[in-house]
Amino acid sequence: MSATSNSRGDCSVACDAIIVGAGLSGISAVYKLRKLRLNAKIFEGAPDFGGVWHWNRYPGARVDSETPFYQLNIPEVWKDWTWSCRYPDQKELLSYVHHCDKILGLRKDVYFGAEVVDARYARDLGTWTVKTSAGHVATAKYLILATGLLHRKHTPALPGLADFNGKVIHSSAWHEDFDAEGQRVAVIGAGATSIQIVQELAKKADQVTMFMRRPSYCLPMRQRTMDRNEQTAWKAYYPTLFEASRKSRIGFPVQAPSVGIFEVSPEQREAYFEELWERGAFNFLACQYREVMVDKKANRLVYDFWAKKTRSRIVNPAKRDLMAPLEPPYWFGTKRSPLESDYYEMLDKPSVEIVNLEQSPIVAVTKTGVLLSDGSKRECDTIVLATGFDSFTGSLTHMGLKNKHGVDLKEVWKDGISTYMGVFSHGFPNAFFVATAQAPTVLSNGPTIIETQVDLIADTIAKLEAEHATSVEATKSAQEAWSIMIAKMNEHTLFPLTDSWWTGGNIPGKATRALTFIGGIALYEQICQEKVANWDGFDVLHAPC
């Protein structure tokens, strides 16, 4: 099937599969569908590949999954690619994505500058029709929504923000000509993005003021450079490592202790904590004792060790008590723990102030700064909004995606997200989600869960084609049962006790619920593959003989 353009620049596209998004999910999807000899086309709102790494260009933007795991398991791509360090930055990740394009010849199947504004299913034809901001009208049997977990930025409703005399910059729409030298910068937010930004701006700006509700429990990154010889030697083991990552809980081939936290002596436990701490990365979380996320006493032991380590790095006593308080403000591991290199040292500088919004919330933004409820004001030249995203759903509920009855997904999900396996949704035949809710997504290495779900989608499509079926759709009862299972998995853990973007709690008015399959990638994939193999929980329509 071919694409044809008319003289106005509008484009009519007919293909087998439409993919929305040209980040890692979209790249993985088009690669897998080509293997099935299907004609797949990508529609992307940005002018180039990259997804989250195209949009997030702020200072310090860097992945926190370590080499070699933050890449797609495509041998023809990784065999000639070399990373510069353990945790590549945004520019290097974009270079990697462009390398994928060069090796795989992706660009010929991508329409850039084409944001999807409408997508609906024709029941009589069994096809999806997608319209874009650039005038495309595309039709296909299958629709793959690779729109990203963190795409639609969240801008808080701060009175007076539009009247501020200086610059207002959201982290995902960074002004690349911005120079912090000589600036007084206000950073609103204290999550993963804020940590990376503050860590860098504090080195240049005259003054940085970070406005924070709760501190993040940061872990040591242990960054280091990596040369070509080291990686070449490791590439012989890449197939084994990538296979092991798929069989793991979180996408990294790590192991937790076989004994419980209370089955070892305090000295043994302390020594093990020290070992994990020195390894860096997510080892301090990923390799913890099995009780830590279900037992408050066990969780407190982990927090106390973290606080001891972190407090030792902060000289200023007031900042020390704000960033690593003796009493935990929430349970360890129930909110994302970002990686850092010298974040706490930067916060300790006299030129950095931390404002506790729990004590003095922001009342308004004035023309020259930020006004707090206690009447105090922080003057600034630039306001940085490190306020995150409408995670999981934001990109999906703002693209005009409608079910087979013509009801917008925003309306369908107004009371909370509901999917089957995080990939299928009742009322949306032949539509598939990638890297969304009700899967292990937020507790996983990104590329690992992406490839797990894309493989599931490809297997589903291959089965449909082999059976000459016209459509597959999750049943309502199966979808409801999946949501109940997700809730039950979480209710005996500490996760529900903390509101964060993991539950949708960062967006005012958004319905919150347990959104994560916490059983790990390996179990998730096993369950999903078994259900697809038996069409368990699906309505499948076949063409008449």
Residue type at position 387: T
- Alpha-carbon span 91 to 75, nearest angstrom: 22
Question: Would you mind telling me the total number of residues written for the chain in this entry?
Answer: 545
Distance of CA 423 to the CA centre of its chain: 15
- Alpha-carbon span 464 to 540, nearest angstrom: 8
Cβ atoms within 10 Å of 212's Cβ, excluding its own: 20
Q: Is the Cα torsion angle 281, 284, 285, 288 positive or negative in sign? A: positive
Q: Which domains does the chain have, with CATH numbers?
A: 12-49+106-152+391-542 (3.50.50.60), 154-217+338-388 (3.50.50.60), 248-332 (no CATH)
Q: Which helix H or strand E contains 30, and what residues bound it? A: helix 24-35
Whether the Cβ atoms of residue 132 and residue 43 lie closer than 8 Å to each other: yes
Closest CA to 153 of 176, 175, 169, 177: 169
Distance of CA 421 to the CA centre of its chain: 17
> DSSP string covering 44-61, please?
-SSSSS-THHHH---TT-
pLDDT tens digit at each of 545 positions of the chain: 333 333 234 589 999 999 999 999 999 999 999 999 999 999 999 999 999 999 999 999 999 999 999 999 999 999 999 999 999 999 999 999 999 999 999 999 999 999 999 999 999 999 999 999 999 999 999 999 999 876 667 788 899 999 999 999 999 899 989 999 999 999 999 999 999 999 999 999 999 999 999 999 999 999 999 999 999 999 999 999 999 999 999 999 998 999 999 999 999 999 999 999 999 999 999 999 999 999 999 999 999 999 999 999 999 999 999 999 999 999 999 999 999 999 999 999 999 999 999 999 999 999 999 999 999 999 999 999 998 766 667 679 889 999 999 999 999 998 888 999 999 999 999 999 999 899 999 899 999 999 999 999 999 999 999 999 999 999 999 999 999 999 999 999 999 998 876 665 555 555 566 789 999 999 999 999 999 999 999 999 998 76
pTM equals 0.94
User: In 3-state terms, what secondary structure has residue 530?
Assistant: helix
Whether the Cβ atoms of residue 231 and residue 82 lie closer than 8 Å to each other: yes
Backbone angles phi, psi at 142, to 5 degrees: -120, 145
Backbone angles phi, psi at 132, to 5 degrees: -120, 165
Instruction: Name the CA dihedral angle for 167, 173, 179, 181, rounded to a multiple of 10 degrees.
Output: 70
- Alpha-carbon span 419 to 29, nearest angstrom: 20
- Alpha-carbon span 363 to 436, nearest angstrom: 34
Q: Which helix H or strand E contains 119, and what residues bound it? A: strand 116-122
Whether the Cβ atoms of residue 143 and residue 17 lie closer than 8 Å to each other: yes
Give the largest CA-CA distance in the chain: 77
Distance of CA 132 to the CA centre of its chain: 24
Q: Is the Cα torsion angle 24, 395, 445, 439 positive or negative in sign? A: negative
Whether the Cβ atoms of residue 13 and residue 139 lie closer than 8 Å to each other: yes
